[in-house]
Amino acid sequence: MSIDWSQVKSRKIREAFRTALIDDKRLSHSEIVDVLRRALEDGNLSDEEISDLNTVAKTSETIMPRSKNMLVNLADEVDQLRRYGPIVFSTSRQKYATDILCAFLKRMGRPYFPYLDRDRVGIDLLLRVSNPNIINQQNAGLCGPVSLLYSLASDSPAAYAKFGIDLYEKGKAKIGRIDIEPSYDCRHYLPKPPMSQGEWLTAGSLRDSENWFFDYDSVKASGSSTTAEMVVWFKRSGYTDVHYDDNIVMSREAGDINRINTYYNDGYRVLLRINSKLLSRKKQADSSYQGNHFVVLRSPITVSGQTVRLTVYTWGEGQWNIPAQGTQLSPGGFLEHWYGYVAAKPF
């Protein structure tokens, strides 16, 4: 096979390949996916294991081109996403989603998104099940759909995985009682990097399916979601006890901070509708007049004297700290840019 097994450091990977090669000394795509699944069994995909998979992909003479491309793409994706932390599948929900996605990676068949590659999509979804912080709207104006999908991948990773799989294989899917059937234009678009194929499949389809005014057929389209849409999406996707409030042009009041902290501490998924100036070191001290962006709250909102601090998920940057490092933000400065919220109990 021309593989120098001394370069494969992980015992788990060596044993998985030994099992795959025991019958005919060749590596089918299904066997390669089984090797990947074996690597994930302990809930962790280490840098050493990723390096070993990449080594085999690049040196094996019997590995199929499809399998080689899948493993090389996995290594490249992980290398680009290292800032998000380790690839971990620690919960039973994540492991169940992994089983679903590995079955998807084994299959063939005609996709309903003909320009998207099955294995790239599968790896994209797998990595986001491991760490939803990876989900990234890039410049596509998808903060509403991405906020819902981040919540779904965090709270019900199998539902997130099945959503993406059904879109790819059937051209339509359901999240709870939400029926998503993207248009022809959306399905026949190939996003350019850095937008990932998995993100276009899921977030682009959700935005397109709920868009009554135009087909969302490229990242150039502008499709900002409203608080009303987010409320409907969360209710219909299976979240319960949904609370919300929204001011179109008037910012929130100080008492709203305690209300939001109560929801967060009680385990609710909380979205804040803000003006994006709040995220900017240079603009957070400016005035704003309306909300234009959704973020997902990832910490309580703490007020200490005249300083406010919180952490949110936004723009695929993982944990985004407010205020920006090296700056201070007063309660009034925070409220200036905060216009609404949605709080919902996970299912």
pLDDT on residue 89: 94
Give dist(CA 229, CA 153) in Å, integer.
19
In-domain check, residue 256: yes
Q: Judge if 128 and 252 occupy the same domain.
A: no
What is the per-residue pLDDT across 142-166, written as a single tens digit (0 to 9) for each?
677 788 999 999 999 999 999 999 9
Q: Judge if 45 and 95 occupy the same domain.
A: no
Q: Judge if 262 and 132 occupy the same domain.
A: no
In-domain check, residue 234: no
Q: Judge if 20 and 68 occupy the same domain.
A: yes
Question: How does residue 212 score in pLDDT terms, banded at 50, 70 and 90?
Answer: very low
Q: What is the mean pLDDT of the chain?
A: 90
pLDDT on residue 145: 79
In-domain check, residue 232: no
Q: Judge if 95 and 174 occupy the same domain.
A: yes
Q: Judge if 92 and 202 occupy the same domain.
A: yes
- The structure's pTM equals 0.89
Give the range of the structural domain holding residue 90, as residue numbers without chain letter.
86-225
In-domain check, residue 27: yes
In-domain check, residue 20: yes
The whole-number average pLDDT for the span 319-346 is 94
Write out the chain in H/E/C secondary structure. Answer: CCCCHHHCCCHHHHHHHHHHHCCCCCECHHHHHHHHHHHHCCCEECHHHHHHHHHHHHHCCCECHHHHHHHHHHHHHHHHCHHHCCEECCCHHHHHHHHHHHHHHHCCCCCCCCCCCHHHHHHHHHHHHHCHHHCCCCCCCCHHHHHHHHHHHHHCHHHHHHHHHHHHHHCCEEECCEEECCCHHHHCCCCCCCCCHHHHHHHHHHHHHCCCCCCCCCCCCCCCCCHHHHHHHHHHHCCEEEEEEECCCCCCCCHHHHHHHHHHHCCCEEEEEECHHHHCCCCCCCCCCCCCEEEEECCCCEEECCEEEEEEECCCCCEEEECCCCCCCCHHHHHHCEEEEEEEECC
What is the per-residue pLDDT across 295-331, written as a single tens digit (0 to 9) for each?
999 999 999 999 999 999 987 667 899 998 889 999 9
Q: Judge if 97 and 208 occupy the same domain.
A: yes
In-domain check, residue 231: no
CATH of the domain at 286: 3.90.70
Give dist(CA 343, CA 326) in Å, integer.
30
pLDDT on residue 343: 98
Of the residues 80, 95, 112, the one at which a domain ends: 80
Cα distances (angstroms) measured from residue 343 to each of 49, 100, 203, 318, 338: 39, 29, 20, 20, 15
The whole-number average pLDDT for the span 271-281 is 94
What is the per-residue pLDDT across 178-194, written as a single tens digit (0 to 9) for each?
899 999 999 999 998 88
The whole-number average pLDDT for the span 335-345 is 96
Number of domains in the chain: 3
Q: Judge if 274 and 163 occupy the same domain.
A: no
Pick the more confident residue, 249 or 62: 62
pLDDT greater than 50 at residue 216: no
pLDDT on residue 29: 97
In-domain check, residue 120: yes
Q: What percent of the chain has pLDDT over 70?
A: 92
What is the per-residue pLDDT across 87-122, written as a single tens digit (0 to 9) for each?
899 999 999 999 999 999 999 998 999 999 999 999
Q: Which of 133-137, 270-274, 299-303 has the lowest mean pLDDT?
A: 133-137
Of the residues 62, 80, 98, the one at which a domain ends: 80
In-domain check, residue 109: yes
